[in-house]
Amino acid sequence: MLNENEAGPGPHDRQGDINSLAPRIMLYSHDTYGLGHIRRARTIAMALAARFPGASILIATGSPIVGRFDFPQGVDFVRIPGVVKLATGDYASDTMHLDIGQTVTLRERILRATADAFAPDLLIVDKEPMGLRGEMLPTLDLLRQRGARIILGLRDVLDEAGALKSEWTRKGALEVIENYYDEIWIYGLREIFEPLAGLPLSRAVRDRVRYTGYLRREAPDDWPEPHMAERVPRGSVLVTPGGGGDGEALIDWVLRAYEADMRLSVPALIVFGPFMNAERRTEFEHRAHRFRTIRTRNFDSRLERLMIESRGVIAMGGYNTFCEILSFDKPAALAPRITPRMEQYLRVAAAERIGLVRMLPPVQDDDGLPDPGAMGAAIQALDTQPLPSAAKVDGLLDGLDRVSALTRTALLAR
């Protein structure tokens, strides 16, 4: 067996280029909330399309905004009915008058039919081993019988170890991983965080784990647009809460920093995200437009170009934003959420320990809100904060190269 640092030769090396195989690769992204899953799937799909020009790559996703992203030749998507996660922790149909059981059944059948017709050589499942409420199990059964290689792709941090163990035990996820998955790809570094530590995994499953490094991001080919300079203050701090569905506290904190200190003259661009509550977004826009130095946008599908032009980043600490901060080597001050998962806090705390980012202090003012002075100081300090590259972490951004090598090995192993 090849070790995790080798792609290795295969039979097609003697017969010609692997691209002559025209592999079919399917990615599944359950997408019940935010932008994280679909952006990660898109990043991986685009990298594989570039490295395997003969490949056909299909993303099956529940994201309601997948159509707002651009995809290169060789990549397409199937949109399965969307669901939303309620405050109670339950799920509901996003747009249709179906109960969650009916919605999941519909999604399950679409996924299996898609896999049956597309017949992928390789399936990459994002984060949820069984899919939403077990919806991927029929597809896993089908593709296991057909001899497809099946991969579980995990971000660098999932949750606190005890919470993850409880969740996966309750769902039966450990048995599913044991029975269906050929490898587990972790899109991070063991030296920073081990997302599966503390789980009762068998030795066989542990031997299937591959750390890839973080997924490097690049500027879009058509960047910059002619109108960009007119709308974005030069040298702005980029403020981004990712998808925005849980980013209201961060935006409010930034605006209160400017409202509390009229001498805070650092220009800022706030990108709310497509899932921010419309009423709160309108309120934030009114507050922001009182300042000549603050501009706002609802959403930009190519946030990379905004980050490249920024002087630094204020964000929460989701996986994709973190990858962009590392890729474009930007100083960043992050305010991670701690509910409903500890994922962001654990990522940011680990990254701060080795000097990649700064975590904003949880200091409160007299009203029990995050201290605006602390946010103002963090914004001003971005210019003197060390860049992530100063930490000199080996293999930090090797993720896409590593995923491509692992994909090649998996395809040749069929």
- pLDDT above 70 for 21: no
Assigned token pair, 282: 């309108």
Please say if the pLDDT value at position 297 is more than 60.
yes
List the one residue out of 220, 270, 232 whose CA is nearest residue 375: 270
- Strands 91-93 vs 83-85: parallel, antiparallel or unpaired: antiparallel
Q: Which of 98-107, 188-197, 329-338, 366-375 has the lowest mean pLDDT?
A: 366-375
Whether residue 14 has pLDDT greater than 60: no
pTM of the model: 0.90
Domains of the chain: 11-216+397-412 (3.40.50.2000), 228-391 (3.40.50.2000)
Residue 223: per-residue pLDDT: 53
Structure confidence by residue, pLDDT tens digits, 130-145: 999 999 999 999 999 9
| Alpha-carbon distances of 97 from 34, 93, 100, 103, rounded to whole Å | 22, 7, 10, 9
Whether 11 shows a pLDDT value over 80: the answer reads no
Residue of 308, 346, 359, 358 lying closest to 329 (CA atoms): 308
At 33-75, the pLDDT tens digits run 667 788 899 999 999 999 999 999 999 999 888 888 889 999 9
As a dihedral over the C-alpha atoms of residue 341, residue 343, residue 344, residue 348, rounded to 10 degrees, the angle is: 140
- Confidence (pLDDT) at 369: 86
pLDDT at 17 over 60: no
Which of 150-164, 225-239, 358-372, 393-407 is predicted with the least confidence, judged by mean pLDDT? 225-239
Which pLDDT score, from 0 to 100, does residue 324 have? 95
* pLDDT average, residue stretch 232-254: 88
Structure token pair of residue 326: 């590392």
Mean pLDDT of the chain: 89
Three-state secondary structure of the chain: CCCCCCCCCCHHHHHCCHHHHCCEEEEEECCCCCCHHHHHHHHHHHHHHHHCCCCEEEEEECCCCHHHCCCCCCEEEEECCCEEECCCCCEEECCCCCCHHHHHHHHHHHHHHHHHHHCCCEEEEECCCCCHHHCCHHHHHHHHHHCCEEEEEEECCCCCHHHHHHHHHHHCHHHHHHHHCCEEEEECCCCCCCCCCCCCCCHHHHCCEEECCCCCCCCCCCCCCCCHHHHCCCCCEEEECCCCCCCHHHHHHHHHHHHHCCCCCCCEEEECCCCCCHHHHHHHHHHHCCCCCEEEECCCCCHHHHHHHCCEEEECCCHHHHHHHHHCCCCEEECCCCCCCCHHHHHHHHHHHCCCCEECCCCECCCCCECHHHHHHHHHHHHHCCCHHHHCCCCCCCHHHHHHHHHHHHHHCC
Cβ–Cβ < 8 Å for 131, 173: no
Q: pLDDT tens, 306-316? A: 899 999 999 99
* Band of residue 290 on the pLDDT scale cut at 50, 70, 90: very high
Residue 230 clears pLDDT 80, i.e. is over it: no
Confidence of residue 111 (pLDDT cuts 50, 70, 90): very high
Whether pLDDT at 7 is above 50: no
The pLDDT of residue 253 is above 70: yes
